[in-house]
Structure 1
Amino acid sequence: MINKKQIKILTLDDEVEYTQTLFHILSNSGYAVKTSNSPIEAFEMMKNESFDVVITDLMMPTIDGIQVLKHIKEYYPKTQVIIITGYGTIENAVEAIKKGALTYFIKGHDPENLLQEIENIKSMKEEGVLKNLDNEKQFSEVNGFLLETKSKVFAKTLEIAQKAAKSNVNILILGESGVGKEVFARFIHDSSRRSSGSFVPINCHSFSESLLESELFGHEKGAFTGAAATRIGRFETADGGTLFLDEIGDTSLDTQVKLLRVLESKSIQKVGSNASKKLDFRLVSATNQNLQEEITLGNFREDFFYRISSIVIRIPPLRARKEDLESLIAFFMKKAQKEQMIKISNMEPEVKNFLLQYDYPGNVRELKNIIERLVVLSEDGVITKDTLPICTNYEKKLVESRGFEIKPLKDIRKDFEIEYIQKVLHACSGNLTEAARHLAISRRQLFNKVSDYGLK
């Protein structure tokens, strides 16, 4: 049987007090609950964590409940949506049900009615009315990446990942930068029996050796200078779920020894503590390095390699599955238009030819970034060849024919940032606070950039 804690709920309302009220009602009833007061923040939370139910207010500034519903139904079709409404907007709530919401709840009514609706969702999940996440063929998108494919080699990789997910063994994901290794790790987690637990990612390259140890194991108060309070590490956070160690090839030999002990004992000790704690997690690791070569060079322990690689999944580069380019381009184009709130009506043939012929050394991530650039720099809904980045031999030929000036990468990045900030400011009617919110930076940071670039 599925218990209440396995039903994960996200509440969304621009009124802080109301989200706090819902949090207490739902958490006191035994559900796992997270809250948000901003649709943009909620969308980011949903990228990183799966929810069974989203309870959203209907009337919110900028992005309302109907728009939230459309976003969820497009990108997270297995998530159920309950609309929160007032007496004056019941007709709109009924309209939301026609568009895919499960039901609505009127503010001020007995919360038992809301709890009963969630119990109904729980029952549907138990009875299989709501399909389990490990059902094959259900996955089309994970964390903003399309997983549908016409490529036999990529389809085989997905098949291996689905089979591996049903086990409890440690998995090593190999592939070039940008192929979507974290996407596969999340896919494995969501396809596994641990999907109700946490997916905890950490990039080993982002931390020094000492900081990585503290980040993974946690520490006791006073364990080292600056340890002002006890902290739970990523291992403990992943208890009952999946720990994803990206860039595992960048860990030191000393760190590898400590990780090996954890994998062998399934227990940890916080930094500064002698007490051991048993944990239940599954490890998924990833790297773009050749670990066999690193073992030969003495940079990677062979015993650690065999411990983390019970199953090895090699993700093919994008150039090896060009039959997927058409659908990927369409997918990222649609996504970029929605995120940037820019409607594209036409694309010059040269741009389409480039997108289909380019080899994408940065793989899917590079394709996504190029599409975003093209959408942002479009004029009146038209994507022109003049907005293509300068990065390939194919493009150099275009450069020669157009007389483009080749600039250092830092200048291109600066130019792009200036153009993008200008477009966002224009879309927000010059409101710095609103623009900073959409850019996901502080108002001060945006003000400094406006000043540095001489924008008005």
Structure 2
Amino acid sequence: MIESSKILIVDDEVEYRETYRMLLEGRGFFVGEANSVQEALEILEREYYPIVLSDVIMPGKDGFYLLNEIKRTYRDSIEVIIVTGYGSIESAVRAMKIGALGYFIKSRNPEELFSEIDKAKRFIKLETQNSIAKREAGSKLFLSQIKSPKMFRVLKEVDAISQFSSNILLTGETGVGKEIIAKLIHQKSKMAKEIFLPINCQAISDNLLESELFGHEKGSFTGAASRRIGRFEEANGGTIFLDEMGEMSLNTQVKILRVLDTKQIERIGSNKQIKVNFRLISATNRNLSKEIELGNFREDLFYRINTINIEIPPLRERKEDLKGMIDFFITHFSNEMKKNIKGIERNTEQYLLAYDYPGNVRELKNIIERIVVLSTDGILRLNNLENIKTKELNISQNGKIIPFKEARKRFEVDYIKDVLEKCDNNITQAASLIGISRRQLFNKLVEYNLKS
């Protein structure tokens, strides 16, 4: 499914919502509904809709408020078309000034609305292409820093298997860069022009994961206010990347196995079979053979996802890559934050080159981002790094080594708090600085009880 085929209708009158739904579904669009501005914003927190059709006059906040919030939060990743029964030059000008792409009066020919929607799709496609081009350029630049023989072997394997459609399992410690390798496989494959859809199975609670993957029909369970297209359906024709697959429950594993066997899915609340065709790349930091022995992972699913296995070595085993990666991340974050970083003190660089990075590339990235944020005069100094070492990288408590999961949690909690403070608690801005989606950051705030 193409992302730009999803539209969210926002109107307090159910008759208009139903009319638009019939018109749009007749043209092949997937439609979501909201009866208020508040409900629309809550839906957009949970699910991405690239196009929003919004009425102006509604109880409580109006359509102009929604337009302003969408443009402030999501910028050009969501296009808004204002729909009103009472058009005027003043309201049309106001809508365009705030950032609406189109303006449609309800009494007019629906073909005019479709014309506005087609224009929005073209803008979304251009924005997506630009975003993909930037990410691919960044990935190529990052991978160009690789010098270690072990990673050269990984890249050679990627070249050898990318053109085949076999399922691939990427293994290795947390933070080694499994998603980067998955994206590289996709970019080198025949599906390169289609969607690459990553899902972190650990970041989504098990009771929500099934809906996330398979989708659901309106009213299929409490809170299902509209139809939702699942990730398997969305990834049709492209590549889906299931990260941390070892965290799935046995019940979800059974359903994943059935999809791989039949190439069909059913949305929750529906008995209609929908054909899907995607390439599956899975990843885990667990030893799945051991998990099978413990009864935590299905052996039949393991054999289905493990047609080809690529083991990615930890960063401590490829120290040759460190210097290039450090330089890459310093350049990346100084450009992103528009900070003039003049250099890095020698003892700071020596520390970064000597450290073992139990959190691997992800930890290196977070450390570099942190010291760039904390630098006030363009020089990256050890005293900033010592703040990190004592707060986030502390590995002992009362003389005992704490588990890695606990150390990572401490790092993330303090790191998120500091970034949010610098962004005046603006979640969207903080997520952009950190390099994750707004939804992922919100999930972290819930997980660590930081919502207040």
Aligned to 2:39: none
Q: Deviations over 1:82-104 (max 9, x none)?
A: xxxxxxxxxxxxxxxxxxxxxxx
Contact 1:19–1:35 (8 Å) recurs in 2: no
Q: Distance in 1 between matches of 2:153 and 2:281?
A: 19
Match of 1:191 in 2: 188
What displacement does 1:146 show? 3.8
CA distance in 2, matches of 1:229, 1:277: 18
Larger relative CO (CA 8 A, sep 6+): 1 or 2?
A: 2
Does residue 296 (structure 1) correspond to residue 270 (structure 2)? The answer is no
Structure 1 residue 439, shift from structure 2 partner: 3.1
What is the CA–CA distance in structure 2 between the aligned matches of 1:385 and 1:344, rounded to whole Å? Answer: 15
Alignment of 1:341-380 (within 5 A): 341-380=338-377
Query: Contact 2:211/2:230 (CA < 8 Å) preserved in 1?
Result: yes
1:151 aligned partner: 148
Per-residue deviation at 1:29?
A: 9.0
Cα 1:279–1:421 change in 2 (3 A) is closer
Q: How does 1:215-364 map to 2 (within 5 A)?
A: 215-364=212-361
Deviation (angstroms), 1:347 = 2.2
| Matches of 2:255 and 2:278, distance apart in 1 | 16
Which aligned pairs between 1:11-50 and structure 2 lie closer than 5 A?
A: 19=101, 28=118, 33-34=123-124, 50=132
Q: Is the 8 A contact 2:419 2:430 kept in 1?
A: no
Please give the TM-score of this superposition, normalised by the length of structure 2: 0.62
Q: Which residue of 2 aligns with 1:169?
A: 166
Deviation at 1:230, TM superposition (A): 1.6
Conserved? CA contact 2:265–2:276, under 8 Å: yes
- Aligned partner of 2:389 in structure 1 is 390
Percent of aligned pairs with the same amino acid: 44
Asked if 1:439 corresponds to 2:436, the answer is: no
Residues of 2 paired with 1:364 and 1:165: CA distance? Answer: 23
| Alpha carbons of structure 1 residues 418 and 229: separation in structure 2 relative to 1, 3 Å | closer
CA distance in 1, matches of 2:282, 2:409: 32
Equivalent AA in structure 2 for residue 50 of structure 1: I
Contact persistence 1:26–1:33 (CA under 8 A): no
Give the direction of change, closer, same or farther, for the CA distance of 1:30–1:350 in structure 2 (3 Å limit). closer
Question: 2-side partners of 1:158 and 1:363: how far apart?
Answer: 18
Query: Aligned residue for 1:140?
Result: 140
Is contact 1:242–1:282 with CA below 8 Å preserved after alignment? yes
Equivalent pair of 1:218/1:270 in contact (CA under 8 Å): yes
SS at match of 1:285: strand
**Contact 2:171–2:311 (CA<8 Å) still a contact in 1?**
yes
Counterpart for residue 110 of structure 1: none
CA distance in 1, matches of 2:211, 2:328: 39
**Counterparts of residues 89-108 of structure 1 (less than 5 Å):** none
Partner SS state of residue 300, structure 2: helix
Give the distance between the partners of 1:347 and 1:312, measured in 2 at CA.
38
Question: Contact 1:219 / 1:270 at 8 angstroms: preserved in 2?
Answer: yes
2:206 to 204, 209, 221: 209
Would the alpha carbon gap of residues 16 and 238 (structure 1) be closer, same or farther in structure 2, given more than 3 Å must change?
A: farther
CA contact (8 A) 2:102 2:116 kept: no
Question: What amino acid is the match of 2:305?
Answer: I
Against the structure 1 CA distance between its residues 27 and 76, is the aligned structure 2 distance closer, same or farther, given a 3 Å change threshold?
farther
Equivalent residues of 2:101, 2:120 under 8 A apart? no
Structure 1 residue matching 2:222: 3-state secondary structure: coil
Higher mean alpha-carbon deviation, 356-365 vs 158-167, is at 158-167
Structure 1 stretch 252-261 or stretch 341-350: which is displaced more?
341-350
3-state SS of the aligned residue for 1:263? helix
CA shift, 1:211, in A, is 1.6
Distance in 2, Cα, partners of 1:331 & 1:77: 13
Aligned length: 322
Contact 2:168–2:281 (8 Å) recurs in 1 = yes
Q: 1:284 to 1:16 in 2, by over 3 A?
A: farther
CA distance in structure 1 between the partners assigned to 2:120 and 2:376 by the alignment: 51
TM-score normalised according to structure 1 size: 0.62
1:318 CA displacement: 0.7
Higher mean displacement: 154-163 or 280-289: 154-163
Q: Taking structure 1 as reference, are residues 25 and 180 closer, same or farther at Cα in structure 2, changes over 3 Å only?
A: farther
- Shift of the 410–233 alpha-carbon distance from structure 1 to 2, 3 Å rule, reads closer
Compute the displacement of 1:395 (Å). Answer: 9.0
1:60-81 residue CA offsets vs partner (Å, 9 max, x unmatched): xxxxxxxxxxxx5xx6559xxx
**Alignment-derived partner of residue 81 in structure 1:** none
